[in-house]
Each structure stands twice: as structure tokens, then as C-alpha cells.
Amino acid sequence: MGEQTKFLLDESRIPKRWYNIQADLPKPLAPVLHPGTMKPVGPDDLAPLFPMALIMQEVTTEREIDIPEPVRDIYRLWRPSPLFRAHRLEKALGTPAKIFYKYEGVSPAGSHKPNTAVPQAFYNREAGIKRLSTETGAGQWGSSLAFAGALFGIDVTVFQVRVSYDQKPYRRALMESYGARCLPSPSTETEYGRSVLAKRPDHPGSLGIAISEAVEIAAKNDDTKYALGSVLNHVLLHQTVVGLEAMEQLKMADAWPDVIVGCTGGGSNFAGITFPFIGDGLRGGAKPRIVAVEPAACPSLTRGKFAYDFGDTGHMTPLAKMHTLGSTFTPPGFHAGGLRYHGMAPLVSHLRDLNLIEAVAYHQTECFAAGIQFARAEGILPAPEANHAVKGAIEEALRCKREGRSQTILFNLCGHGHFDMAAYMAYSAGTLTDQSYNEEELAMALAGLPSVPEPA
Ligand SMILES: *Cc1c(COP(=O)(O)O)cnc(C)c1O
């Protein structure tokens, strides 16, 4: 018999509390600012967009936050998710390293995103909200919120970035099957969408534009709130179930990571797997190296500025300090749609600034090659976003081989790629190419960052 490959926890071991890294930060986060007054925003400023329970989770420094029982009850549909030891991949690479991966593709939407969609829908229903508006790029977040909305009886309106609305009809079909209404963005439904279309009727859309549309709908309707699938502190908080479970499973495997790897779009799946370990290190425990992997075509952590910026293109959101390429920057249309965001979670940016995490960027073809190698060894075909984490983990395993060190590597396999077969077809056909962003456009977007006075 071979060594154990799969580490499963009983349903009763689904975490009862999320872990809040704000309790353990050596230096607090910079405040979120109102763009008009440049003063820190208070809970009341955010009340038109989010229910108070989520606003409080955004700012609390309590270490542990109870997970409501109705949320845990839905988590049981797919949690605890499995942790695997990648014996066959290790063998294929000829590495002395041990590779573990946490698989979040077992959720109904096929990624980690329902971990936060479900509590967000729950807290909104508790607050009497009838409708949620949101944006989606490739459709993973939209389908996760549509699923959660269906379970809690909340209507969901999704603004899907125009290019992906046209090119990826299956995610849209999934959202509509769950009962959500899905509109191509820019749309004629909002003032901001109409203003964009007036300038360019064939605009392909972007996440930044879709966020502006979804925020506008929530701000103008009392019964509607806004939901975001990444970036915000409460979203990262909800994702910590991933790392908390992984800790228990690694104890079963009698292993502990020397390196943890995750891909970063807005930072939520990365935070989910790494924050419980980083927190343990900040409280005196082991300090694994932490590696964020981002696309070379949208490299906010490795090429962006750590500065105050808007979260959206229409400048309706407050200002947050984060690694950003500039809110007017339009990333090229590569296939990992979930990683095409100009900014980064303030918490992840803060940890990078404090040198508590590292960041690397890879091009999409090398990431697809890694994903295919992974699928042929382990059987699971990763989402294009997850391929970045696979690539990062393989690079670490090859480093161990060169250095003759048997380290333990953990990574987050944040979703499967079953809705992304067009990208895999393009890869096999050799038509998938590496794209670089326009340096001039990046320089302009960075030069246009809002100027924020230094705090006294
Ligand atoms: C949305 C998504 C991402 C990017 O978002 P993060 O907040 O950075 O996790 C990555 N992988 C998958 C599978 C996604 O659906």
C-alpha cells in the first residue's frame, strides 16, 4: 500500500470561527478614506452598500468571529474540503519535496468563492435585504453569489464584463439556472454604464466598470445591497476556513509547511489558505515562507504602487491603500479572468509592505503548461487562475530538487477548470499567447492616482 494521499475531516470539524488577522498585525491597516473629505470612512458611510454585520467584520480586531450555524449548515454541502498529498506530481518532478494541496473545486460553483458568498447572503437576509447586486469577470463570483442567493431567497443581479458575457456563455447559464439576472457590462441599466457606452458603444468592459454599475444600483435602491467577491477584509475573513481546515489536516499527515503558495487576483483565496498560518507565526509559532503568484499581465503586487486608490473605474468607492496599477488601467484580456483586477486586497498589500509575504509573477502559457502537468499527474484540471498557484508550487518543488532539500509545500488549488475549456483548447492549439500590458498606459494610470495628504 502506498502512503496516504487524501486527508479528510468529519463534518463536525468544519471551523466554528473565522480567523481575523487584524488581531495579530504588528502595525494596523491604513484607514479607508472618503474621496470627498479625505477623512476615514465610518460605518454609516458604508451602510447604503453593506449590512452592518459585514461592516463590523470589516473593521473589528477581534481574533475569532463566530460562524453562524445556518452558514455552517450550508458549508456542509462541500466542507471540510479535502487536502491531498501530490505523490504523483512529486514523482513526475523528481523532487524530494512533499507537496500538499487543498482542493476548493469541490464546492457547488467549483471554486473557493461560495465560502464568502454564503455568509454574505446570510447577513443580508438577516438585515431584510431583498436583492444583491454584484459584478463578475469570468463568472465564478457571479455563479457563487447566484447559488447563495437561491438558498436564502435573495434576488441577485450580476453585471458580467462584456467580453466574458459574450465568450463564456456557460457561466452565465449557471447563474441563470440559479435564478440570477445577468447583464453585460457596460449596460444601459445604470447611469455610469450609459456614460461609458455613449463614448464607446462596443466597449468590452472591465471589472472596474462592472463594480461601478453594481455599486450604483445598490446606492440608488433601499432594498438592494452590494456584494464583492474579493479584496475586502470581511471576504478574506470568510475564506480563512480553508487554512484553518488545512492546519487540522496537516496535523493528521504529521506535516507542517515550509512554504505556502496561492494565486492572487483580489487576494481572497490566497488569504484564506495563508492567514491562519501567518497569524500563528505572528503569535510565536512557525513562520513558513508565503508566496503570492500573480499574472505577469496584471502584476499589482510586483509592479504596482502601494498607494491610495479607488476600487472601481467610475470612482464611486472609497479610497483604500493597496498595491494598484491604477483604477483606469485596463489589463490585457488573458484567460485567468479572476486575476484581471487593477488592485489588491489592502490586507494582502499591507503584509507585502511589512515583508511578511513574497510575490512573483508568471506568464499565462507557462502557467497552463504547469496546469496540464498537474492534471496528468493528479487528475484534476485546475482553473486558469489556479494554474498560477500550481506553477508557483512546482517552481518551489524544483528549487528543493536543486538544493537537495526535502521541504513541505502547501498550495491552494482554488478551483477546477471545467468552465474554462475554451482556454485549454486555445492552449493546445498553440493560439494562447503571453500578453504584456502597455507600459505607457500603466505609467499614465499610476500618474493619475488620487493625491492623498499624508496623515498628520
Ligand atoms: C475569483 C477567483 C480567483 C481570484 O480571486 P482571489 O480573490 O484572488 O482569490 C482565483 N481563482 C479562482 C478559481 C477564482 O474563482
> Counting atoms of ligand 1 from 1, which one is nearest the CA of 386?
11
Testing ligand 1's pocket by substitution, the residue of 230, 275, 414 carrying the most ligand atoms inside 8 A of its CB is 414
Residue 141 Cα, ligand 1 centroid: separation in angstroms? Answer: 8
Please indicate whether residue 71, judged by its CB atom, sits closer than 6 Å to ligand 1.
no
> Counting atoms of ligand 1 from 1, which one is nearest the CA of 113?
15
Residue 453 Cα, ligand 1 centroid: separation in angstroms? Answer: 33
The pLDDT score that the predictor gives to residue 253 is 97
Residues in the chain: 456
Please indicate whether residue 414, judged by its CB atom, sits closer than 6 Å to ligand 1.
yes
The pLDDT score that the predictor gives to residue 350 is 98
Enter the C-alpha cell of residue 365: 502559457
User: What's phi and psi for 84, nearest 5 deg?
Assistant: -115, 145
Please indicate whether residue 266, judged by its CB atom, sits closer than 6 Å to ligand 1.
yes
The label of the residue with cell 482556454 reads 423
> How large is the angle between the packed helices 241-252 and 268-282, nearest 10 degrees?
60
> Counting atoms of ligand 1 from 1, which one is nearest the CA of 383?
13
Residue 454 Cα, ligand 1 centroid: separation in angstroms? Answer: 33
Contact predicate 325/300, CB 8 Å: yes
Enter the C-alpha cell of residue 436: 504584456
Please indicate whether residue 264, judged by its CB atom, sits closer than 6 Å to ligand 1.
yes
> Counting atoms of ligand 1 from 1, which one is nearest the CA of 231?
7
Residue 68 CB-density burial (10 A; 0-12 exposed, 13-18 middle, 19+ buried): middle
- Between the alpha carbon of residue 282 and those of residues 24, 27, 255, the distances in Å are 6, 12, 20
Residue 89 Cα, ligand 1 centroid: separation in angstroms? Answer: 23
Please indicate whether residue 82, judged by its CB atom, sits closer than 6 Å to ligand 1.
no
Please indicate whether residue 190, judged by its CB atom, sits closer than 6 Å to ligand 1.
no
Scored b (16 or more CB within 10 A) or e, 196-209 reads: bbeeeeebbbbbbb
Please indicate whether residue 339, judged by its CB atom, sits closer than 6 Å to ligand 1.
yes
- Between the alpha carbon of residue 160 and those of residues 139, 174, 198, 244, 373, the distances in Å are 7, 13, 19, 32, 31
> Counting atoms of ligand 1 from 1, which one is nearest the CA of 385?
11
Residue 199 Cα, ligand 1 centroid: separation in angstroms? Answer: 31
Bridge partners for 315 per DSSP: none
The pLDDT score that the predictor gives to residue 163 is 87
> Counting atoms of ligand 1 from 1, which one is nearest the CA of 111?
13
Q: Is the bond preceding residue 201 a cis peptide, omega within 30 degrees?
A: no
Mode of pairing for the β-strands spanning 224-226 and 259-263? unpaired
Residue nearest ligand 1's atom 14 by CA: 338
Ordered mean pLDDT values, 10 residues apiece, the chain (456 residues): 88 98 98 95 95 98 98 98 98 98 98 98 98 95 98 98 89 97 97 96 90 96 96 98 98 98 97 99 98 96 97 94 93 76 96 98 97 98 98 98 98 97 95 88 93 75
The pLDDT score that the predictor gives to residue 1 is 52
The pLDDT score that the predictor gives to residue 16 is 98
The pLDDT score that the predictor gives to residue 437 is 86
Please indicate whether residue 385, judged by its CB atom, sits closer than 6 Å to ligand 1.
yes
Please indicate whether residue 143, judged by its CB atom, sits closer than 6 Å to ligand 1.
no
| Rounded distance between C-alpha atoms, residue 299 and residue 320, angstroms | 18
Angle at 72 between CA 67 and CA 76, to 5 degrees: 155
Of 289, 254, 255, the C-alpha closest to 274 is 289
> Counting atoms of ligand 1 from 1, which one is nearest the CA of 140?
15
Testing ligand 1's pocket by substitution, the residue of 81, 102, 104, 112 carrying the most ligand atoms inside 8 A of its CB is 112
Residue nearest ligand 1's atom 15 by CA: 140
Determine if residue 2 is left, alpha or beta; phi over 0 gives left, psi from -120 to 50 gives alpha, anything else beta: beta
Residue nearest ligand 1's atom 11 by CA: 385
The pLDDT score that the predictor gives to residue 282 is 98
The pLDDT score that the predictor gives to residue 340 is 82
Residue nearest ligand 1's atom 1 by CA: 338
Q: What single string gives the DSSP state of each residue in 149-165?
A: HHHHT-EEEEEEEHHHH
The pLDDT score that the predictor gives to residue 455 is 64
Contact predicate 340/137, CB 8 Å: yes
- Between the alpha carbon of residue 329 and those of residues 155, 207, 244, 321, 456, the distances in Å are 31, 11, 35, 17, 30
The label of the residue with cell 434576488 reads 155
Bridge partners for 134 per DSSP: 158
- Between the alpha carbon of residue 259 and those of residues 278, 287, 339, the distances in Å are 11, 9, 22
Q: Which residues contact 265 (CB under 8 A, 6 or more apart)?
A: 230, 294, 336, 338, 339, 340, 341, 385
Residue 127 Cα, ligand 1 centroid: separation in angstroms? Answer: 27
How far is residue 82 CA from its own chain's centroid? 19
The pLDDT score that the predictor gives to residue 6 is 97
Of 56, 19, 61, the C-alpha closest to 236 is 19
- Between the alpha carbon of residue 344 and those of residues 108, 146, 210, 274, 393, the distances in Å are 26, 24, 17, 15, 21
Please indicate whether residue 210, judged by its CB atom, sits closer than 6 Å to ligand 1.
no
Q: Which residues contact 41 (CB under 8 A, 6 or more apart)?
A: 31, 32, 33, 34, 318
The pLDDT score that the predictor gives to residue 332 is 77
User: Radius of gyration of the chain from Cα atoms?
Assistant: 21
